[in-house]
Amino acid sequence: MRVRDTLRFLLGDEPRELRDVDPSMTVLDWLRLEERRTGTKEGCNEGDCGACTVVVGRLDGDRLRYEAVNACIRFLPTLDGCQLLTVEHLKGPDGALHPVQQAMVDEHGSQCGFCTPGFVMSMLALYLNEERPAEDRIDDALAGNLCRCTGYAPIVRAAQRMYDLGDRARDRFALATEAVAERLRALRDEEVLCVGRDGRRFFAPATEGQFADLLLQHPDATIVSGATDVGLWVTKFQRVLPDIVWTGRVAELRRLHETDAALEIGAAVTYTDAADAIAALYPDFGELIRRIGAVQVRNAGTIGGNVANGSPIGDTPPALIAAGATVVLRLGIERRTLPLEDFFLAYGKQDRRPGEFVEKIVLPRPAPGALFRAYKVSKRFDQDISAVCGAFLVELDNGRVSRARLAFGGMAATPKRAAAAEAALVGQSWSEASVRRAMAALREDFTPLADWRAGADYRATVAANLLLKLFVETTEEEAATRLVGPGRLAHA
Amino acid sequence: MPDTPQPLTIAGGVYQERRHDSAHKHVSGEAVYVDDMPEPAGLLHVYLGLSAKAHARVLSMDLSKVRASPGVVAVFTAGDVPGENDVSPMGRHDEPLFASTLVEYAGQPLFAVAATTRDAARRAAGLAAVEYEDVPAVLDIATARQNPQLVFPPMTLKTGDAAAALAQAPRTVSGRLVMGGQEHFYLESHAALAIPAEDDEVLVHASTQHPTEVQHIVAHVLGVPDGAVAIEVRRMGGGFGGKETQANLFAACVALVAKKTGRAAKIRPDRDDDMIITGKRHDFEVDYTVGFDEEGRILAVDMVYAARCGYAADLSGPVTDRALFHADNGYYYPAARIESLPLKTNTVSNTAFRGFGGPQGMVGAERVVEEIAFALGKDPLEIRKRNLYGPGRDVTPYKQTVEDNILPELVAQLEEESRYWDRRAQVRAFNAANRWLRKGLALTPVKFGISFTATHYNQGSALVHVYTDGSIHLNHGGTEMGQGLHTKVAQVVAEEFQVDIDRVRITATTTAKVPNTSATAASSGTDLNGRAAQNAARTIKDRLIDFAAEHWGVPRDAVLFRAGRVHVGNHAMDFADLIKAAYMARVHLSSTGFYKTPHIHWNRGTGEGRPFFYFAYGAAVSEVTVDTLTGEYRLDRVDILHDVGRSLNPAIDRGQVEGGFVQGAGWLTMEELWWDKEGRLRTHAPSTYKIPACGDRPKTFNVRFFDAPNREDNLFRSKAVGEPPFMLGISVLHALSDAVASVADHKVCPRLDAPATPERVLAAIERLRGP
């Protein structure tokens, strides 16, 4: 295994080569403390407010992609082979404001100004990636940026106006894309990046073989993908992580592969990268992904991480379980496959041995005529954690339920199927009476907790009502049931 | 001398849409906040060690591990305070900088640790070994009311004989309303940087709305005269009331460290710690009885406003007073008895937050009106209109006559422009056709009193220099937290001198230039400081006119400042040329300015007076859709008609209205503070405490200004705008209530409490549907 001991990336146009790097130093701390670039702000230090938003250019195949991410929970070594753009890069060489910035000024999009650099960077990513998006797309693009002053209206106006002020095709960043991509291609190699400080190391293997070997050698290492959760272990709990092994450079783990029977999702595929392929199979799962975190989180976080992490309130496990997904685990060269629901053993405990890792998730294609719905219920529609997440797959045979997979998050210590409710449905007619029996049976399946996200009664009531919603949406053609997302999903 | 063509107006005078003075710096990351300032050599980073208990005696505190932690330079506790260990804003001596023998809320600071890096200080702060002995903790209003301890003397407003009027009223309704508090969630958490100076002097850069109070508190903690302490504020990343008194603690802490160590010291709590340590909007329970006639006219009210104030007084007295001042909102109560109950609890000491109790007062009034509407089977808007102040019905429960009432016209105009009744019919039709989703619609008015109720705060000061090149230096007592105060005040100065606003340099607020200032609070920033700056400019202008009249031998009234030029008799010159000439003639080109609000007086003992110079009005119509299976909802459309008098800057005022509305709607809907049984706040970060996100703003958002000047002689006939729009958000609570009521055919008042989270909405739906 060839090892490279230098972290290499571009800060704007400037190449950076760093050797002595704290493995869990965040991009934000590096910018503010070491570079004294203070334009990027710390609002929450947990990836929820977006004040620290930066844009990262990375190679996807040979193409350069610009993505907005939260600098506060992104570890610096994950910039290897990337370009980092911060708010300080936007003004032109002549000092003129970028169209994104000028639009914010013209539309009075800043008041206190503290969230503004983050908004500007989210808007830059939008500007570089999309031509004149519809308003709900703008909402999505800005969902990860909190503003307490403006009520957002002027910021949305600015996100529309920026397209009037600039010529995207001749944008400075757009014009430089090929040159930047060339420079990033030159940084590519097949070596294992290993940087560290004080005996703690960050490993970024380039191949799955290296990844598996490293984990055999360092079975206690923390596996990190998007760090949208692990980042908080560092920023909030001040945990000192020993060795870190990062999935992000491993091409095999970042791959989506379609077979006749299934969609195989490599463990390091981000929500953003997986969304379209998943939505093509299960439209409502796609809508659920749109509601996970916000752009910055979806650009970093991975489906594999959401699974491996084992959180009872992760949103993809219920949907994956309902769809009958399996997880492929690898230890060295040995692989095994588990139904996903069997992977979650208890709160905080998954069926993963030391040195073993989630290689991929296998999402089977739905049977023709299968009914699938996924619902996320939270205090806020965007960038919130579910009080209850319910995902349901029902197959009918001559009006009777032949198969029912009802999975919930937020209802137990792990993502879990509702066995009693499923039993109440299978073999029964697909009728409101059957569904009402399943709703009653849910009380046997779950004894939810009360916490700051919801009370126990609310969780229980809503979980049952979601079954009713599933029934209504699949039987009443005209019923309006959705408040957000494309309404057609209700009757997909 | 032929005049060259000149622009007819200046750029950036009053009544113009003008961008925020720092907008170009906000968007480029160049605007400097406290934590962005270049760090002095040897800077120490400070972190606070916090109480783990809500109410306990501290038996022992072993800080040896804290001291031994890598990078730690010093640790300070109550015993290290040279002056008084107290940061209470109202001199009640009930808020120690560091608790010593007794902790009164979970998160109360016990000590400060100074280290060479922030990370080192933060890690060390968690290493204290504290031995506690629990004392029973009072955590909520219900418990506190069983054996009430008050943090401040309560107030009662009385008009007429409420008890008799209620006894005789044809109809009465009683009930209880519960509403939650609110975290400010300024995007920039608290921050302070202290730089020690010679002798007993210290300079503190603080993120505060009240530099003068911070100055007093720092001096008091250090045991030095006020004059030894300077506080400077260029800008805050949001305040909303959360940096009025709450900055005291942080500034005092770093000043102490700086003077003790001789090194600069900075503090910036992590978001979670900021939310745990600092006070919030008060939550309230309101018990009400209203008597009314068959037409829905209110005859009398009896209301008790019980507030959770936390462990210390802070501003709870004035906050609960202001709740009572707004318990009428825009409605006439012929007889009333309205009482406050500022309850002590073992939670963080609650504080100022945009509206300062006013919103809670109004939510009580709107519930009362809603109850009447349901009791009589009428549309709530009919009852609202019937009870608005009007001729002969214009005296408030605190005996101020409402002289500038425009609510009847304003509400009528909004009713018309928003097509309220057409939409009422559409909402009913939608609900008749839909089983699962339900719509709701509501119009609520706002009448908000402008002036500090502490009359002495209603003064403003400013300092204006004109330099010999004609550039102008502006300084005043107000602070910039995003509201555009500096822009507006600069517009006023530009207008007075008739120069483009670019000539007016905005400078950081500092107690060393303008002393004895009031908090930038109570929506008063522009009224007080704008007028003070205007007076400073006028003083200089008067001197210039005297000079020009004498120098060029013309009458005073022949000297005119107009559109960037100064006309003296028949000739005109550039402003800078006049200034040069005036300087050569030894004219004093610098002046202070002062302003105090006229006509106001208030006697808290008798509950009578004229506490408010004028009222700001507005109204909003909100339309929502509710999912009756989950309680989730969307804000579909909002129409606002708001009164800012003659707007000094319509762009900035619009921003205040839009932003205030969304913040108010957030308070009453998704923003929920949640404490566990041990009294620990568990919603202490944006992951758990949800403020509105971009997609939560109304999908259709129509904002208009009511077209009328301030009837009082306020600055350029404008009105204050900081707080009043916040309360337009009450319309969302009532639109939700309307949607909920549809499941029982509008027969039952939903009594929807706040925050109306999806959980509370669903519970109300289930309650109305019955078993």
Closest Cα in chain A, distance from residue B681 (Å): 10
Residue B723 known to be catalytic:
yes
Closest Cα in chain A, distance from residue B333 (Å): 34
Contact flag B238-A114 (C-beta cutoff 8 Å): yes
Tell which of A33, A112, A238 to mutate to test the B interface (max B CBs under 10 Å). A112
Distances (CA, A) of B267 to B116, B216, B236, B480: 12, 19, 15, 20
Q: What is the rounded distance in angstroms from the CA atom of residue A231 to the CA atom of residue B2?
A: 70
Contact flag A104-B36 (C-beta cutoff 8 Å): no
Q: Where are the beta strands (DSSP E) in B611-761?
A: 614-627, 633-642, 700-705
The average pLDDT across B735-740 equals: 98
Residue in B39, B723, B759, B766 annotated catalytic: B723
Determine the pLDDT at residue B506: 95
Q: Identify all chain A residues contacting B26, using CB atoms and an 8 Å cutoff.
A: 104, 110, 113, 116-117
Contact flag A377-B436 (C-beta cutoff 8 Å): no
Structure tokens at B512: 């060393």
Asked if pLDDT for residue B3 goes beyond 90, the answer is no
Which pLDDT tens digit goes with each residue over B760-769? 999 999 999 9
A270 in Cβ contact with A301 (< 8 Å): yes
Contact flag A381-B672 (C-beta cutoff 8 Å): no
Structure tokens at A110: 């800043």
Q: Identify all chain A residues contacting B652, using CB atoms and an 8 Å cutoff.
A: 108
Q: What is the rounded distance in angstroms from the CA atom of residue A459 to the CA atom of residue A447?
A: 9
Contact flag B19-A238 (C-beta cutoff 8 Å): no
Q: Identify all chain A residues contacting B658, using CB atoms and an 8 Å cutoff.
A: 150-151, 153-154
Contact flag A458-B762 (C-beta cutoff 8 Å): yes
| Cα first-last separation, chain A | 50
Among A48, A53, A110, CA closest to A87: A53
Contact flag A46-B271 (C-beta cutoff 8 Å): yes
Contact flag B655-A108 (C-beta cutoff 8 Å): yes
Contact flag B20-A236 (C-beta cutoff 8 Å): no
Which pLDDT tens digit goes with each residue over B498-552? 999 999 999 999 999 999 999 999 999 999 999 999 999 999 999 999 999 999 9
Among B260, B252, B261, B246, CA closest to B229: B252
Confidence bin at B292 (pLDDT 50/70/90): very high
Identify the DSSP state of B758.
H
Distances (CA, A) of A195 to A66, A148, A484, B105, B549: 25, 39, 44, 44, 76
| Cα first-last separation, chain B | 90
Q: Identify all chain A residues contacting B239, using CB atoms and an 8 Å cutoff.
A: 112
B104 in Cβ contact with B88 (< 8 Å): no
Contact flag B484-A466 (C-beta cutoff 8 Å): no
% of chain A at pLDDT higher than 90: 97
**How many other CB atoms are there within 10 angstroms of residue B558's CB atom?**
15
CB-nearest to B661 from A151, A375, A461 is A151
Among B36, B47, B37, B97, CA closest to B73: B47
Determine the pLDDT at residue B713: 97
% of chain B at pLDDT higher than 70: 99
Query: What is the maximum span of chain A, computed from C-alpha positions, in angstroms?
Result: 72
Asked if pLDDT for residue B1 goes beyond 50, the answer is no
Contact flag B27-A104 (C-beta cutoff 8 Å): yes
Confidence bin at B47 (pLDDT 50/70/90): very high
Tally the C-alpha atoms within 13 A of residue A425's C-alpha that lie toward its C-beta.
Answer: 31
B734 in Cβ contact with B177 (< 8 Å): no
Determine the pLDDT at residue A260: 97
B338 in Cβ contact with B303 (< 8 Å): yes
Which pLDDT tens digit goes with each residue over A252-302? 999 999 999 999 999 999 999 999 999 999 999 999 999 999 999 999 999
Identify the DSSP state of B38.
P
Identify the DSSP state of B643.
-
Beta partners for residue B437, in sequence order: B627
Q: What is the rounded distance in angstroms from the CA atom of residue B75 to the CA atom of residue B67?
A: 7
Closest chain A CA to residue B673: A452
pTM of the predicted model over 0.90: yes
Q: Identify all chain B residues contacting A101, using CB atoms and an 8 Å cutoff.
A: 24, 27-28
Closest Cα in chain A, distance from residue B704 (Å): 14
Closest Cα in chain A, distance from residue B149 (Å): 28
Contact flag A466-B184 (C-beta cutoff 8 Å): no
Tell which of B32, B630, B635, B769 to mutate to test the A interface (max A CBs under 10 Å). B630
Q: What is the rounded distance in angstroms from the CA atom of residue A64 to the CA atom of residue A180?
A: 8
Asked if pLDDT for residue B6 goes beyond 90, the answer is no
Which pLDDT tens digit goes with each residue over B211-220? 999 999 999 9
Q: What is the rounded distance in angstroms from the CA atom of residue B221 to the CA atom of residue B194?
A: 14
Q: What is the rounded distance in angstroms from the CA atom of residue B24 to the CA atom of residue B21?
A: 8
Q: Identify all chain A residues contacting B632, using CB atoms and an 8 Å cutoff.
A: 377, 381, 483
Tell which of B354, B694, B743 to mutate to test the A interface (max A CBs under 10 Å). B694
Determine the pLDDT at residue A484: 95
Q: Identify all chain A residues contacting B672, using CB atoms and an 8 Å cutoff.
A: 379, 452
Burial (0-12, 13-18, 19+ Cβ within 10 Å), B297: middle
| Mean pLDDT taken over chain B | 97
| Residue that has been written with the tokens 């009837």 in this structure | B711
Q: Identify all chain B residues contacting A42, using CB atoms and an 8 Å cutoff.
A: 35
B45 in Cβ contact with B117 (< 8 Å): yes
Which pLDDT tens digit goes with each residue over B303-352? 999 999 999 999 999 999 999 999 999 999 999 999 999 999 999 999 99
Which pLDDT tens digit goes with each residue over B581-600? 999 999 999 999 999 999 99
Closest chain B CA to residue A86: B29
Distances (CA, A) of A473 to A11, B401, B422: 50, 57, 30
Closest Cα in chain A, distance from residue B193 (Å): 16
Reported residue count of chain A is 492
The average pLDDT across B705-716 equals: 98
Tell which of B22, B28, B32, B626 to mutate to test the A interface (max A CBs under 10 Å). B28
Tell which of A108, A377, A467, A477 to mutate to test the B interface (max B CBs under 10 Å). A108
Among B602, B709, B626, B649, CA closest to B11: B649
Q: Identify all chain B residues contacting A110, using CB atoms and an 8 Å cutoff.
A: 20, 22-23, 26-27, 482
**How many other CB atoms are there within 10 angstroms of residue A13's CB atom?**
12
Determine the pLDDT at residue A486: 86
Determine the pLDDT at residue A488: 77
Residue ranges of chain A whose pLDDT lies below 50: none
Contact flag B187-A469 (C-beta cutoff 8 Å): no
Q: Identify all chain A residues contacting B701, using CB atoms and an 8 Å cutoff.
A: 151, 153
Closest Cα in chain A, distance from residue B254 (Å): 20
Closest Cα in chain A, distance from residue B60 (Å): 25
Determine the pLDDT at residue B771: 75
Confidence bin at B7 (pLDDT 50/70/90): low
* ipTM reported for the complex, 2 dp: 0.97
